Amino acid sequence: MDETVAEFIKRTILKIPMTEMMTILKAWDFLPENQLQTVNFRQRKESLVQDLVLLCESKRASLRDAALLDIIYTQFHQHQKVWDVFQMSKEPGEDVDLFDMERFKSSFEKILRRALKNVTVSFRDAEENAVWIRIAWGTQYRKPNQYKPVYVVYYSQTPYAFTSFCHLKSNTPLLSQALTVASNHHKIVKMDLRSRYLDSLKAIVFKQYNQKFETHNSTMPLQETLELDMHMDSRIIHENKIEKERVQRVTQETFGDYPQPRLEFAQYKLETKFRSDFHGGILAERKEPLRCLIKFSSPHLLEALKSLAPAGIADAPLSPLLTCIPNKGMNYFKIRDK
Amino acid sequence: MDPYDTPESTPRHGASSRLKGYFIGATPLRKRLESVRKQASFVPTPPRRKIPQCSQLQEDNDPQKFAFLLHKQWTLYSLTPLYKFSYTNLKEYSRLLSAFIAAEKQKGLAVEVGEDFNIKVTFSTLLGMKGTQRDPEAFLVQILSKSQLPSENRGQKVLWTGWFCCVFGDSLLETVPEDFTCVPLFLANGAETNTAIVGTWFQETFDCHFSSLAINAFNLSWMAAMWTACKMDQYMATTEFLWSVPCSPQSLDISYAIHPEDAKALWDSVHKTPGEVTQEEVDLFMDCLYSHFHRHFKIHLSATRLVRVSTSVASAHTDGKIKVSLNISS
């Protein structure tokens, strides 16, 4: 086994948390069950890794096997990457031919190899007719760097592909081209949507988020809470009850009853004039707009935005600039005066 | 309304438990304390602040001397007056503090891997870092590491810097008794373990008390307005505000960056009184920013917590951290 491959396998296994070790190794399916039984999984991690690497050596693991392990690790740790979304389109009137996964894979790899001699391409099929592609980039003279790969998750029955953030921006055009041509599309466009949560991106882009789930709701609808309290003492009334109910209703209409897809941020580049009814005269003569960059960040942005109006921090309905995020499938915006 | 209703600050992480006690709690003086490096000081917030035409700082001909203060993040503390501190004993203090630090480090109290135990402490005065003649001189304490290798002959790396100052402290100085030196503002840059050790030594030697200085939203708005008001030939950085929204269960941060020329234009449109900055102007400036934001997003920023302001001149964070980026020499 090549030394670089051994090192690569070692480093990949080292990344795996002990709690997931068995699961991931089983998913990899390279080391058979009976061999795994012989390994002492209770020892210190470094020693365990050494034993596993020796086993891989004895089975002559190749770069291909190592790359597959890397894909599986990444599939378990999707949130460690930031994912962009690409949307492809066909020429209008083009025939919709049947998609052939094997043909796609070989075509994709061929296109990359034609352009770059040194590149490692690996595939792993996934559910929903999706395929995970791992690409390690090299250059004309240098072998591929296995430690900075790019991942592409392509849903073959849709025009969408998700790619992990790539430091080497120079390879993006090539990647886009390979994707487009291999999948028989004509054009590819990068959407203004980015997140760590692949599931959420899928939900937004495939419009799957507005399904009603049977979730246990820890927050009771406002009416019920109000009524309960009122039974205590009829002299206690809720101020602004009507307004609160209206806010609740409007928020529900805008955001729906379902759990929101998970995004970490939304960014708005504003170039709009300052206009205010209360501050007439301020910047009245200035023709130029105010150039602002506004960024909202949260562990779960849409849920946070949903809670603003009921908390009294925002008006209801919330601005369409914010509520359109899942519908438009964007979290990067450029806003100008019309 | 007392604008100084700042909440009790939490103990610094990293300070050992024995020292934690020193860093909690408010002193009566702290409530009246805050010296903004550049211009006005504040004592119960005046409704207007005069922009001083000429300060001691500006009379100093050597801006290079203060260059080391720039581009570093300083953590702020307020300090009660020092008992029997003398500017003539600085060499002695250097010696004593050096020994104290060495002793503390050998106790295993604050050990950093690979740290050189050969350290040197220097005390020096910072002439000119004051507002009026009455203000006591500012002074600087530095912990330097002495390189053990002869080849690195000039290897004196600055490990930690702290300086003490009093700028426009007139009202404070009136109440300070004899034998006390009043340098209420302490700024530290470097490892927190070192800050804790130096703090302990000062507290034991001069019977004083440090407490973390938080900067509340009200003061941050003043800083933002005053720094935006500075006339600049060239803007190095965008003007940025950061708000933290108290919503649950998820936290939300809103960052609002505005092109510095546009911020200045807004300020100029708001500013009416030459030579002074008034409360109304600061409020109006912030209000305009809030209203522009509300127009687009329907969110009331005034209901959230201002946590950080950053301009080309300087930036400040509510946890009591500031950084000065530009030396206004004109």
Phi-psi region of B14 (alpha: psi -120 to 50; beta: other; left: phi over 0): left
My answer on whether A157 and A127 are in the same domain is: yes
Place of tokens 């920023």: B301
**Mean pLDDT rounded to a whole number for chain A:** 86
State ipTM.
0.75
Nearest to B263 by CA among B233, B287, B228, B295: B228
How far is the C-alpha of B117 from the C-alpha of B292, rounded, in Å?
A: 55
**What CATH number is attached to the domain comprising A299?**
3.10.20.720
Measured between beta carbons, which residues in chain A are less than 8 angstroms from residue B298?
A: 314-315, 317-319
Tell me which residue of B227, B139, B226, B223 sits closest to B185, measured CA to CA: B139
Is the minimum CB–CB distance between B255 and chain A shorter than 8 Å?
yes
- Tell which of A19, A49, A76 closes a domain: A76
B-chain residues near A297 (CB < 8 A): 252-255
Residues A154 and A112 in one domain: yes
Count the neighbouring beta carbons within 10 Å of the beta carbon of residue B136.
22
If asked whether residues A42 and A149 sit together in one domain, one would say no
- Residue B153, SS3 per DSSP: coil
Q: Which of B247, B254, B296 sits opposite A307 (nearest CB)?
A: B247
**A213 inside domain:** no
Q: Give the tokens for residue B27.
A: 């002193």
Q: Per-block average pLDDT, block size 10, for chain B (330 residues)?
A: 34 32 32 32 55 51 72 92 90 91 75 62 85 86 76 71 87 83 92 92 92 92 89 82 85 93 90 86 92 93 92 91 71
B305 contacts chain A (CB < 8 A)? no
CA end-to-end span of chain A: 63
List residues bridging with A290 in a β-sheet: A272
CA separation for the pair B96, B198 (Å, rounded): 11
187-246 in chain B: CB under 8 A from chain A: 238, 245-246
Find, in chain B, the residue whose alpha carbon is nearest to that of A289.
B262
3-class SS at A307? helix
pLDDT tens digits, residue range A42-92? 888 889 899 899 988 888 889 999 999 999 999 999 999 999 999 999 887
Same domain flag for A188 and A88: yes
Instruction: Say whether both A227 and A329 belong to one domain.
Output: yes
User: Residues A294, B255: contact at Cβ < 8 Å?
Assistant: yes
- State the DSSP H helix or E strand holding residue B293, giving kind and residue range, or none if neither: helix B279-297
pLDDT of residue B12: 34
- Strand bridging mode A265-272 / A332-336: parallel
The answer to whether residues A276 and A247 belong to one domain is yes
Residue A257 lies in a domain: yes
Which stretch of DSSP H or E encloses residue B212?
A: strand B210-212
Q: Residue B274: what pLDDT?
A: 82
Q: Could you write out the DSSP letters of every residue in A253-276? A: HHH-SSPPPP-SEEEEEEEE----
CA separation for the pair A81, B265 (Å, rounded): 41
Whether residue B295 lies within 8 A of chain A, CB to CB, comes out as yes
B92-96 long-range contacts, CB within 8 A, separation 24+: B93/B123, B93/B205, B94/B120, B94/B121, B94/B122, B94/B123, B95/B121, B96/B201, B96/B205
- Whether residue A217 is contained in a domain is answered as no
Closest to A196 (Cα-Cα) out of A101, A265, A97, A95: A265
Buried b (16+ CB within 10 A) or exposed e, B117-127: eebebbbeebe
Q: How would DSSP label each residue in A213-253?
A: -----SSPPHHHHHHHHHTT-TT---TTHHHHHHHHHHHHH
Q: How many whole angstroms from its chain centre is CA B210?
A: 13
Residue A220: what pLDDT?
44
- Looking at the structure, tell me whether residues A245 and A306 fall in a common domain: yes
**Pair A99, A174 in one domain:** yes
Integer Cα distance of A301 and A304 in angstroms: 5
Q: What value does the mean pLDDT take over residues A291-307?
A: 92
Q: Which of A270, A313, A334 to mutate to test the interface with B (most CBs of B within 10 A)?
A: A313
Nearest to B299 among A278, A300, A314 (CB): A314
Q: With CA atoms as reference, report the closest residue to B314 among B253, B240, B243.
A: B240
User: Within an 8 Å CB–CB cutoff, is residue A185 touching chain B?
Assistant: no
Looking at the predicted structure, is the pLDDT value of residue A7 above 50? Answer: yes
Structural domain count, chain A: 3
- Backbone torsions φ then ψ of B276, nearest 5 degrees: -145, 155
Q: Report yes or no on A270 lying in a domain.
A: yes
Residues A65 and A89 in one domain: no
CB distance B284–A279 less than 8 Å?
A: yes
What pLDDT sits at residue B75? Answer: 94
Q: Where are the alpha helices (DSSP H) in A59-146?
A: 63-76, 101-115
Is residue A239 classed exposed, middle or buried when 0-12, 13-18 and 19+ CB atoms within 10 A define those classes? exposed
- What is the pLDDT averaged over residues A142-169? 89
For A182-217, write each residue's pLDDT tens digit: 988 889 999 999 999 998 999 898 887 765 444 444
d(CA B55, CA B301): 36
Identify all chain B residues contacting A283, using CB atoms and an 8 Å cutoff: 265-266, 269, 288
**ω into residue B177 within 30 of 0, thus cis?**
no
The pLDDT of residue A37 is above 90:
no
CA B291, CA A276: separation in Å to the nearest integer?
A: 7
What's the angle, vertex CA B242, arms to CA B71 and CA A190, rounded to 5? 100
Looking at residue A107, its pLDDT comes to 93
Among A291, A308, A314, the residue with its CB nearest the CB of B262 is A291
Q: Please give the structure tokens belonging to residue A278.
A: 């209360």
Q: Is B208 helix (H, G, I), strand (E, B) or coil?
A: coil
pLDDT at residue A255 in the model = 86
Query: Please, what sign has the CA dihedral across residues A293, A297, A303, A307?
Result: negative
Looking at the complex, does the CB of residue A305 fall below 8 Å from at least one CB of chain B?
yes
* Residue range of the domain that includes A278: 222-336
Q: Which of B262, B264, B287 to mutate to test the interface with A (most CBs of A within 10 A)?
A: B262
In a domain, A322, yes or no: yes
A74 is written with which tokens?
Answer: 């990444």
Residue A85 sits in the same domain as residue A159:
yes
A215 in a domain, yes or no?
no
Selection from A256, A252, A261, A160 nearest residue A209 by Cα: A261
Mean pLDDT in residue range A168-192:
89
Q: Give the end of a domain, one of A76, A101, A118.
A: A76
Say if strands B119-126 and A83-89 run parallel, antiparallel, or are unpaired: unpaired
- Range A149-175 average pLDDT: 89
Report d(CA B281, CA B267) in Å as an integer: 8
- Residue A337 confidence class, pLDDT cut points 50, 70, 90: confident
For residue A146, give the CATH number of its domain.
3.30.160.110
In a domain, A216, yes or no: no
Q: Which two tokens stand for residue B14?
A: 């990293």
pLDDT at A98: 77
Record the tokens describing residue A38, joined without a space: 């012989």
Among A333, A224, A230, CA closest to B297: A333
Q: With contacts defined as CB-CB under 8 Å, which chain B residues touch A322? A: 297
Decide if A226 is inside a domain: yes
Chain A neighbors of B262, CB-CB under 8 A: 288, 290-292
HSE toward the beta carbon, residue A321, CA cutoff 13 A: 21
Same domain, A249 and A328: yes
B259, HSE (Cβ side, Cα atoms, 13 Å): 13
**What residues of B are in contact with residue A296 (Cβ under 8 Å)?**
252-255
Task: Compute the nearest-CA separation of B25 from chain A (Å).
Answer: 31
Q: Is there a single domain that holds both residue A179 and residue A265? A: no
How high is the pLDDT of residue A160? 93
Predicted local distance difference test score (pLDDT) of residue A215: 41
Inter-chain contacts counted by CB atoms under 8 A, chains A and B:
121
Counting residues of chain A whose pLDDT is more than 70, the rounded percentage is 92
